[in-house]
C-alpha cells in the first residue's frame, strides 16, 4: 500500500519531497535561496578579480590599453553572441520544465550544451593564437606582438604581462564554470529524459538555469572590460 | 501518521508564472542589439565616455538577464 501511495505521490512531485521540508513549496524556496546564496559568493569570488583588474588598470593604463588591443574582438564578439544564445535556449529549457514537457527540456538542454561547447572551442582557438604570439605569462612571454608606445618605461612594458595574467585567469575561471555547467546540463538532460521534471517539480532544472545565466552575466562584464574599453586610450 | 503528514502537504507547489516564449525572444533580440551597439561604440572615439557607455550597456544587459531569464522580480 505504501509503495502504491508513493508512486501515486511522485506523479504530483511528492516523491521528490525530502523529509525535513513541510511541502514542495517550502523545499523549492529553500533550494532557490541556497542557489542565490551560492551565486552571491560567486559574485564576491569574481568581484575580487574585477577589483584587482580595476586597480592595476588604473595604475598602468598605458600597459593595459596596449595589451588589450592584441585580443581578437571579432572572436570575442562571436563568442558573446553564442553565449547569449545559450542563455536563451537555457531559459526555454526551464520553461519546458515549468510546462512539464520532457522532450523540449532535453532538446533545449542539448542545444545549450552545443552552444556552450562552441563557445569553449572558439575560446580555445583564441588561446592558441595568443600562445603562438607569446602572450601567455611566464618564461616564454614576449611583448613582440604588442604595439608598445615609444618611450615606455620598463615597468609599463612589464605590466602588459599582468594584463594577460588577469585575462587568462578570469576567462579561464569563466571557462571552468562553463565546463561545470555542461556537466550539470548532462545530468539534467538524463533526468529530463526519464521524465523526472514535471509541472509540479522541476527545481533542479531551474537551479541549473540560474547557474547558467550567472555564467552568462559574468561574461557580459568580462567581455567589454577585457576587449572593448581601451581601444582609444593613448 | 501517514495521513497526518499528507494532510500538511501542499500538493500544488508555488505557482510558476510561465512567461510566453515571445518574451524570451524579445529579450534575446534586445541583448543582441546591445551587443552590436557596445562593439560598435567601442570603435568610435568618444573619450572619456567610452568606458561609461560600455558599462551602461553591460548593466542594461545584466538587468534584462536578471529580470527575465532569472525570473527576479
Query: Chain A partners of B24 at a C-beta cutoff of 8 Å?
Result: 88, 91-92, 95
**Residue A19's pLDDT is what?**
86
Of A62, A118, A112, A98, which Cα lies nearest the Cα of A199?
Answer: A98
Q: What is the number of CB-based contacts under 8 A between chain A and chain B?
A: 103
- The answer to whether residues A161 and A141 touch, using CB atoms and an 8 Å cutoff, is yes
Which sign does the torsion angle of CA A162, A163, A166, A167 carry?
negative
Which sign does the torsion angle of CA B60, B67, A111, A37 carry?
positive
Q: Is B35 on the interface with A (CB under 8 A)?
A: yes
pLDDT by residue, tens only, chain A of 234 residues: 444 444 444 445 557 888 888 888 899 999 999 999 999 999 999 999 999 999 999 999 999 999 999 999 999 999 999 999 999 999 999 999 999 999 999 999 999 999 999 999 999 999 999 999 999 999 999 999 999 988 899 999 999 999 999 999 999 999 999 999 999 999 999 999 999 999 999 999 999 999 999 999 999 999 999 999 999 987
State pLDDT tens for residues B11-54.
444 456 899 999 999 999 999 999 999 999 999 999 899 999 99
pTM of the model as a whole: 0.89
On the question of pLDDT at B3 being above 50, the answer is no
Cell triple for A6: 508513493
Helix axes of B21-42 and B50-64: crossing angle, nearest 10 degrees? 170
Q: Is A57 on the interface with B (CB under 8 A)?
A: no
- Between chains, do B54 and A229 touch, taking CB under 8 Å as contact? yes
- Between chains, do B58 and A220 touch, taking CB under 8 Å as contact? yes
**Residue A174's pLDDT is what?**
98
Cell triple for A17: 519531497
- The answer to whether residues A133 and A86 touch, using CB atoms and an 8 Å cutoff, is no
Query: Chain A partners of B11 at a C-beta cutoff of 8 Å?
Result: 12, 14, 200
Largest CA distance in chain B: 73
- Between chains, do B28 and A88 touch, taking CB under 8 Å as contact? yes
- Between chains, do A23 and B21 touch, taking CB under 8 Å as contact? no
Q: Is A130 on the interface with B (CB under 8 A)?
A: no
Query: Chain B partners of A90 at a C-beta cutoff of 8 Å?
Result: 69
**Residue A185's pLDDT is what?**
98
Amino acid at each position: 500500500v505504501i509503495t502504491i501511495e508513493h508512486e501515486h505521490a511522485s506523479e504530483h512531485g511528492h516523491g521528490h519531497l525530502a523529509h525535513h521540508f513541510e511541502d514542495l513549496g517550502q523545499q523549492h524556496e529553500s533550494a532557490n535561496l541556497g542557489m542565490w546564496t551560492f551565486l552571491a559568493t560567486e559574485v564576491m569570488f569574481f568581484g575580487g578579480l574585477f577589483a584587482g583588474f580595476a586597480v592595476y588598470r588604473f595604475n598602468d593604463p598605458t600597459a593595459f590599453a596596449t595589451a588589450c588591443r592584441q585580443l581578437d574582438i571579432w572572436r570575442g564578439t562571436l563568442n558573446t553572441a553564442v553565449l547569449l544564445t545559450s542563455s536563451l535556449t537555457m531559459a526555454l529549457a526551464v520553461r519546458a520544465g515549468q510546462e512539464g514537457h520532457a522532450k523540449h527540456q532535453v532538446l533545449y538542454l542539448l542545444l545549450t550544451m552545443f552552444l556552450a561547447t562552441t563557445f569553449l572551442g572558439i575560446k580555445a582557438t583564441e588561446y592558441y593564437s595568443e600562445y603562438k604570439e607569446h602572450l601567455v605569462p611566464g618564461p616564454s612571454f614576449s611583448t613582440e606582438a604588442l604595439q608598445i608606445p615609444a618611450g615606455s618605461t620598463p615597468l609599463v612594458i612589464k605590466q602588459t604581462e599582468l594584463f594577460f595574467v588577469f585575462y587568462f585567469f578570469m576567462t579561464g575561471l569563466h571557462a571552468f564554470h562553463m565546463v561545470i555547467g555542461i556537466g550539470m546540463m548532462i545530468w539534467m538532460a538524463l533526468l529530463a529524459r526519464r521524465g523526472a521534471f514535471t509541472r509540479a517539480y522541476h527545481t533542479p532544472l531551474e537551479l541549473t538555469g540560474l547557474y547558467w545565466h550567472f555564467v552568462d552575466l559574468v561574461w557580459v562584464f568580462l567581455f567589454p572590460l577585457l576587449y572593448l574599453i581601451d581601444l582609444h586610450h593613448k | 501518521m501517514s495521513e497526518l503528514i499528507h494532510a500538511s502537504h501542499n500538493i500544488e507547489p508555488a505557482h510558476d508564472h510561465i512567461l510566453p516564449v515571445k518574451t524570451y525572444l524579445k529579450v534575446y533580440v534586445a541583448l543582441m542589439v546591445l551587443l552590436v551597439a557596445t562593439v560598435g561604440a567601442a570603435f568610435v572615439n568618444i573619450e572619456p565616455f567610452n568606458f561609461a557607455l560600455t558599462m551602461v550597456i553591460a548593466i542594461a544587459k545584466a538587468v534584462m538577464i536578471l529580470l527575465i531569464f532569472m525570473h527576479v522580480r
